[in-house]
Amino acid sequence: MEFRQIRYVLAVAQEHSFSRAAERLHLAQPSLSQQIAKLEKMFDVQLFHRLPQHVELTDAGARFVQVASQIMDQVEGLEREMRSYAQGESGRLFVGSLPITGEYVLPEVISEFSRMYPGVELQLVEERSSQLEQLLARGIIDVSLLTMPISEPSLAVEPAIREEIYLALPPEHPLASAQEVELSDLADQPFILLKEGQGFRQITLTLCEQAGFRPKIVFESSNIHTVQSLVAAGMGISFAPAMITAAGRTSARPAYVRLATRPERTLVVAYRRDRHLSKPVKAFMDMLVRVGTKV
């Protein structure tokens, strides 16, 4: 049985006529009659009494129409719902974010997205970089803000934000007022870094490696603001992306000094490369990239 045959039976039942139903369906009457006869033969029942001036439903036909009407209502409802998803009018969007970085970038994006797609439920998932990569690869979240480099080969990325990385020094450090610093000159200093699994930690380790040394790590934290507070308290030195240096979240602030090499980090919008991107996902990505250029 095909959906078109169901529609044919319903049309004949509503019109009480094969000819009028055929006209309404833009079909030749013999073709319509043939399809319904084929359906009757398949079920071995008669759906219509063929009378000289009109047709009437048999008991089997009445039951067929009752159930078929419910089926077609569900099919039409499903079609409307799928069109709603395709047009971005409903559904859910799971967005991954680095906890600290997201607070500087996402509020404006989420606000704009919610105005454009009020029927889409947006759920924010905040995790470490390594965990977010795995959630993306497994299809648990749709899109995520991540720091390059990423290690998961199944992911594709769109660059969103490029920002300079600064050296964070205690305010009383001898180099706190310098215009710029060679990182290699600080090889013997105590460092305070983010914990394993944080994308920015790997960036800072790479910077030290490129400068020819392995940092002597004396403290670690999962929160970059805590790292900055420890530096301000004179416990060691560290690094900070530009958005952190401009924020001024703590009363005691480190001294932020430029590195001679002007290193940068790149934040990207990541998604699984083999996954279809819905209209809301594409819109969210576009907003994130656009807002990122202003950060």
Which CATH number does the domain housing residue 195 bear?
Answer: 3.40.190.10
Q: Are residues 82 and 219 in the same domain?
A: no
Kindly state the tokens that stand for 270.
Answer: 């990541």
Alpha-carbon distance of 197 to 202, in angstroms, equals 8
Q: Are residues 128 and 178 in the same domain?
A: no
Q: Where among 86, 102, 120 does a domain terminate?
A: 86
Q: What kind and span of H or E run contains 204?
A: helix 199-210
Kindly state the tokens that stand for 78.
Answer: 């499903």
Q: Are residues 153 and 278 in the same domain?
A: yes
Q: Of 142, 23, 160, 46, whose CA–CA distance to 105 is shortest?
A: 160
Q: Are residues 99 and 124 in the same domain?
A: yes
φ, ψ of residue 160 to 5 degrees: the values are -120, -45
Kindly state the tokens that stand for 8.
Answer: 């044919």
Q: Where among 39, 62, 86 does a domain terminate?
A: 86
CATH of the domain at 66: 1.10.10.10
Contact 267, 243 (CB under 8 A): no
Structural domain of 284: 91-159+266-292
Alpha-carbon distance of 175 to 198, in angstroms, equals 27
Burial zone of 231 (CB within 10 Å; 0-12 exposed, 13-18 middle, 19+ buried): buried
Q: Are residues 146 and 271 in the same domain?
A: yes
Over its length of 295 residues, how does the chain's per-residue pLDDT go in tens digits? 788 888 899 999 989 999 999 998 899 999 999 999 998 999 899 999 999 888 999 999 999 999 998 888 788 767 766 765 666 556 788 899 887 777 778 888 888 888 888 888 888 888 888 889 999 888 888 899 998 888 889 999 988 888 899 999 999 999 999 999 999 999 999 999 999 888 889 899 999 999 999 999 999 998 888 999 999 999 999 999 988 887 655 567 899 999 999 999 988 999 998 887 888 888 888 888 887 666 5
Q: Are residues 137 and 73 in the same domain?
A: no
Task: Count the domains in the chain.
Answer: 3
Beta strands in the chain (DSSP E): 48-50, 55-57, 91-97, 120-126, 143-147, 155-169, 180-181, 190-194, 216-221, 238-241, 255-259, 264-272
Contact 96, 125 (CB under 8 A): yes
Q: Are residues 272 and 252 in the same domain?
A: no
